[in-house]
Chain A
Amino acid sequence: MHISDGILDTGIVMAANVVSVGVIYLTGRNVKPEEIPKIGMTGAALFVASLIHFPMAGTSLHLGLFGIAGIILGKRAFPAIFTAILFQALIFQHGGLVTVGINSLNMGAGAYAAWLIWRTEALPEYLRSALAGFVGIIIPALLMSLEFQLSGYGRGIFYLFSIYIFAALIEGAVSFSAVRFFRKVKPELLI
């Protein structure tokens, strides 16, 4: 799900870098000292979660956990996601150095959408948790499709990204199960 350097139009990528700096400022303002370890460790968990692979259509996908990051951190998920993506780019070359901004905005939008759903108390918790996991993947996939199309790829790219529906369904199931686990073991994590 990470976009490598050289794939997208450079103008879009650089504009995203500028926007991501603004988003870091907005989402990182007035952070309380007690929030810092939570943000840092969610970032580390996002990084490590990428090592958990599951088989899918002859290949393997890894967990994103952006929905869970949104549930746990709310708007503070963005700095954690940005740092995790920077680490993944530097350590594994997943994604790129110049594309850290656009990748973070994509995944961050997923986490933010998950947070908004999680806060909708009209829905039962099991549904909110599953939907949060689902949108945590599907929103980044939709944004990526849009960015690919803006970069000159044809409309067919939307077919390619439709495979993420399955990944999003799996992530929804994982998120539902994880939130149930949190509720039992450490409910104070759920904001």
Chain B
Amino acid sequence: MKHSFLDKYGHLNSPLHRIDARIKLLSAFAFILIIVSEPRGVLFPFIYYSMVIAVLVRVSNVPGRFILSRCLIVSPFILLAAVFYPLSSMITGDFGGLPAYQAEYRIALSIILKAFSAVIILTLLVSTDKFHNLLQGLRKLRMPRLLGIISALMYRYIFILTDEALKTRMARESRTPGKLNINKFKVYGNQSAMIFIRSMDRSQIIYNSMLSKGFTGEFPGMQKTAISGRDVAFFIFFISILLVIRLTNTGQFCFNI
């Protein structure tokens, strides 16, 4: 079965796709961290960050329409959080006058820019590699062993369970059409319990088969490949650019933003 929500564009071939998953994970984490650590209300550096993001999107060959759709999906949560920044003080009567109001709107805008930049970076991360490569990358980066095993198991079951969830959802919708009522909660409960029970049964069978094949919690198939010099050079270059943007205010004196 194929679910398009998972690494839909991971098979493409681009310079970003060819970079080691570990480097991509570290770069994405560093990029997001640098962006979110910008002081609130500071808007100017986002001109540079958006240029970097635009270059990455162009180089990745991931369709802009796909990235936009991902942004649209999460936009209600981000916009709600941003709008509530100035609104929450007004609701409780803590309104500090027009200057404070303007400053709060500036902060709200910076929240929107930070959050959407992070969403695009995450979308690019998961669209420029196979998902199992990213998980392997996390394990190679010394993710705690237990999380490594859990993530490996989860990855194997998500497809099967998603199919189960979609089938049970269809069955539920056909049994309880119309408005939300108390009977529906019973069906939601039974549906959730059924997903748990099926997942437990399947997990036990698969885990036992993994044990019978000699699984000890290690991943012998995981090649200990060294990171290439080209990837390291990319990482240093990329982070240097971001740090220059973050630590300097190049060009800000020309514009009052």
Residues on A close to B: CB < 8 A?
A: 2-7, 10, 13, 21, 24-25, 28, 31, 33, 36-45, 47-49, 51-52, 54-56, 59, 63, 65, 68, 72, 79-80, 82-84, 86-87, 89-94, 96-98, 148, 152-157, 159-160, 170, 173-182, 185-186, 189
Closest to B211 in A: A33
Residues of A within 8 A of B197 (CB): 182, 185-186, 189
Contact A43 B78 (CB under 8 A): no
User: Separation in Å of the A137 CB from the closest CB of chain B?
Assistant: 13
Contact A178 B119 (CB under 8 A): no
Bound Cα distance A56, B179 (Å)? 10
Say if the beta carbon of B180 comes within 8 Å of chain A: yes
Contact A181 B122 (CB under 8 A): no
Q: What 6 A-B pairs are tightest by C-beta distance, nearest first?
A: A177-B189, A6-B114, A156-B88, A40-B153, A156-B91, A154-B89
In the complex with contacts A4-B74, A155-B92, A170-B185 CB distance below 8 A: yes
Residues of A within 8 A of B193 (CB): 68, 177-179, 181-182, 185
In the complex with contacts A51-B165, A93-B122, A98-B118, A28-B192 CB distance below 8 A: no
Say if the beta carbon of B42 comes within 8 Å of chain A: no
Interface of A is mostly: helix
Residues on B close to A: CB < 8 A?
A: 5-6, 28-29, 32-33, 35-37, 40, 70, 73-74, 76-78, 80-82, 84-85, 87-92, 94, 107, 111, 113-115, 117-119, 121-123, 125-126, 131, 134, 144, 146-147, 149-154, 157-158, 161-162, 164-166, 169, 180, 182, 184-186, 188-197, 199-200, 202-204, 206-207, 211
Task: List 16 additional contacts besides A36-B150, A43-B153, A152-B107; criterion CB under 8 Å.
Answer: A4-B118, A7-B114, A36-B207, A44-B157, A45-B196, A47-B158, A55-B180, A68-B196, A86-B151, A93-B73, A97-B28, A148-B88, A154-B87, A177-B190, A178-B190, A189-B196
Residues of B within 8 A of A82 (CB): 147
Residues of B within 8 A of A182 (CB): 193, 196-197
CB contacts between A and B, total, < 8 Å = 251
Residues of A within 8 A of B154 (CB): 40-41, 43-44, 47, 83-84, 87
Residues of B within 8 A of A155 (CB): 88-89, 91-92, 94
Bound Cα distance A162, B87 (Å)? 16
Partner of B78 from A7, A25, A28, A47 at Cβ < 8 Å: A7
